[in-house]
Amino acid sequence: MRRQSVPDNFLMAEAVTLLCFSLLFFCSHALVSPGSSNSTIDELALLAFKSMLSSPSNGLLASWNTSSHYCSWPGVVCSRRQPERVVSLLMGSFNLSGRISPSLGNLSFVKKLDLHGNRFVGQIPPELGQLRRLQVLNLSTNTLHGSIPAAMGGWTNLTTLDLSNNLLQGEIPNEVGTLKNLVDLRLHKNDLSGKIPLSLTDSLSIEYLSLRDNRLSGEIPVALVNLTSLRHLDLANNLLSGAIPSALGRLSSLSVFNLGYNNLTGLIPTSLWNISSLTAFAVQQNMLSGAIPSFAFSALPHLQTIAMDDNEFHGYIPTSLANASDVSFFQLSYNRFSGIVPLEVGRLRKLNWLQISNNLLQAKEPEDWELVSALKNCSRLKLLDLGANKFKGLLPDSLSNLSNSLTFLSISVNEISGSIPEDIVTIGNLTKMNYLDFDSNTFSGRIPSTLGNMTNLLALGLSDNNFAGRIPIEIFNIQTLSGILELSNNNLEGPIPLEIGNLKNLVEFRAYSNKLSGEIPTTIGECLLLQNLYLQNNMLTGAIPSSLSQLKGLENLDLSSNNLSGQIPEFLGNISMLYYLNLSFNSFVGEVPSFGVFANASGVSIEGNGKLCGGIPDLHLDPCSLKLPKKNHKLLVVPIVSSLVATMAILLSLYMLLTRRKRSKTKNPSETFIQGHPLISYNELVRATDGFSDANLLGSGSFGSVYKGELDDQAAQSTNLVAVKVLKLHTPGALKSFIAECEALRNMRHRNLVKIVTACASIDARGNDFKAIVYDFMPNGSLDGWLHPDTNEQTEERSLDLMERVSILLDVAYALQYLHCDGPAPVVHCDLKSSNVLLDANMVAHVGDFGLAKIIVEGSSSAQQSTSSLGFRGTIGYAAPEYGAGNVASTNGDIYSYGILVLEMVTGKRPTDSIFTQRTSLREYVAQAVHNRTSDVIDTRLYLRQNDELHDAGDALFERNIDGLISLLRLGLSCSEEVPSSRMPAEDIIKELLAIKEVIL
Three-class SS string for 40-99?
HHHHHHHHHHHHCECCCCCHHHCCCCCCCCHHHCCCEEECCCCCCCEEEEECCCCCCEEE
Q: Residue 468: is it exposed, middle or buried by C-beta count within 10 angstroms (0-12/13-18/19+)?
A: middle
Percent of the chain with pLDDT over 70: 80
Supply the pLDDT for residue 131. 95
Supply the pLDDT for residue 856. 59
Measured in whole angstroms, the distance separating CA 506 from the mean position of its chain's CA atoms is 26
Average pLDDT estimate for 560-587: 93
Average pLDDT estimate for 66-75: 90
Q: Predicted confidence band at 427 (pLDDT cuts at 50, 70, 90)?
A: low
- Contact residues for 39 (Cβ-Cβ < 8 A; gap 6+): 33, 84
Average pLDDT estimate for 246-270: 93
β-sheet bridge partners, residue 855: 827
Report whether 255 contacts 235 (CB < 8 A): no
| Phi-psi group of 767: left, alpha or beta (phi > 0 → left; psi -120 to 50 → alpha; rest → beta) | left
DSSP 775-826: EE--TT-BHHHHHS--TTS-S------HHHHHHHHHHHHHHHHIIIIISSS-
Q: Predicted confidence band at 346 (pLDDT cuts at 50, 70, 90)?
A: confident
Q: Residue 513: is it exposed, middle or buried by C-beta count within 10 angstroms (0-12/13-18/19+)?
A: buried
Supply the pLDDT for residue 335. 86
Alpha-carbon distance of 744 to 852, in angstroms, equals 9
Task: Calculate Rg over the CA atoms of the chain.
Answer: 35
- Contact residues for 987 (Cβ-Cβ < 8 A; gap 6+): 817, 821
> What percentage of the chain's residues is helix, strand, coil (to nearest 5)?
35, 20, 45
Supply the pLDDT for residue 792. 53
Residue 209: its H or E element? strand 208-210
Supply the pLDDT for residue 536. 95
Report whether 847 contacts 829 (CB < 8 A): yes
Q: Predicted confidence band at 962 (pLDDT cuts at 50, 70, 90)?
A: confident
Least confident of 110-119, 203-212, 546-555, 692-701: 692-701
Q: Predicted confidence band at 476 (pLDDT cuts at 50, 70, 90)?
A: very high
Q: Predicted confidence band at 884 (pLDDT cuts at 50, 70, 90)?
A: low
Supply the pLDDT for residue 324. 83
Q: Which residue has the higher pLDDT, 679 or 613?
A: 613
Picking from 269, 275, 266, the residue whose alpha carbon sits closest to that of residue 297 is: 275
pLDDT at 428 over 60: no
For the chain, how far is it from start to end, CA to CA, in angstroms?
57
pLDDT tens-digit map of 703-726 = 788 899 988 765 445 567 888 988
Supply the pLDDT for residue 113. 96
Picking from 408, 401, 349, the residue whose alpha carbon sits closest to that of residue 372 is: 401
Alpha-carbon distance of 203 to 197, in angstroms, equals 11
Alpha-carbon distance of 250 to 227, in angstroms, equals 10
| Phi-psi group of 954: left, alpha or beta (phi > 0 → left; psi -120 to 50 → alpha; rest → beta) | left
Supply the pLDDT for residue 544. 96
Q: Which one of 1-15, 316-330, 569-583, 871-885 scores highest in mean pLDDT?
A: 569-583
pLDDT tens-digit map of 144-193 = 999 999 988 889 999 999 999 898 999 999 999 999 999 999 999 999 99
Measured in whole angstroms, the distance separating CA 838 from the mean position of its chain's CA atoms is 14
pLDDT, the chain, mean: 81
Report whether 612 contacts 568 (CB < 8 A): yes
The number of beta carbons lying within 10 Å of the beta carbon of residue 339 is 14
Least confident of 511-525, 535-549, 572-586, 845-859: 845-859
Least confident of 16-20, 449-453, 988-992: 16-20
Q: Predicted confidence band at 949 (pLDDT cuts at 50, 70, 90)?
A: low
- List the catalytic residues: 831
User: Rounded to the nearest 10 degrees, what angle do helices 802-817 and 940-950 cross at?
Assistant: 120
- Contact residues for 16 (Cβ-Cβ < 8 A; gap 6+): none
Least confident of 36-45, 437-446, 641-650: 641-650
- Contact residues for 439 (Cβ-Cβ < 8 A; gap 6+): 412, 413, 461, 462, 463, 464, 465, 486
Average pLDDT estimate for 699-706: 77
pLDDT tens-digit map of 610-655 = 899 999 998 989 998 754 343 344 434 444 444 444 444 434 433 3
pLDDT at 386 over 80: yes
Supply the pLDDT for residue 58. 59
Alpha-carbon distance of 444 to 842, in angstroms, equals 55
Alpha-carbon distance of 398 to 345, in angstroms, equals 16
Residue by residue, what is the 3-state secondary structure of 154-183?
HCCCCCEEECCCCCCEECCCHHHHHCCCCC
Residue type, 217: S
Q: Which residue has the higher pLDDT, 532 or 679?
A: 532
pLDDT at 870 over 70: no
pTM: 0.58
Burial 72-103 (b: 16+ CB within 10 A, else e): ebebbebeeeeebbbbbbbbeebebbbbbbbb
Q: Which residue has the higher pLDDT, 650 or 284?
A: 284
Average pLDDT estimate for 898-906: 94
Picking from 242, 251, 185, 192, the residue whose alpha carbon sits closest to that of residue 223 is: 251
Kindly list the distances between the CA atom of residue 352 and the CA atoms of 355, 371, 392, 396, in Å, as whole numbers in the listed order: 10, 16, 25, 21
Report whether 148 contacts 128 (CB < 8 A): no
Domains, the chain, ordered by start: 27-140 (3.80.10.10), 676-777 (3.30.200.20), 782-1001 (1.10.510.10)
pLDDT at 12 over 50: no
pLDDT at 746 over 70: no
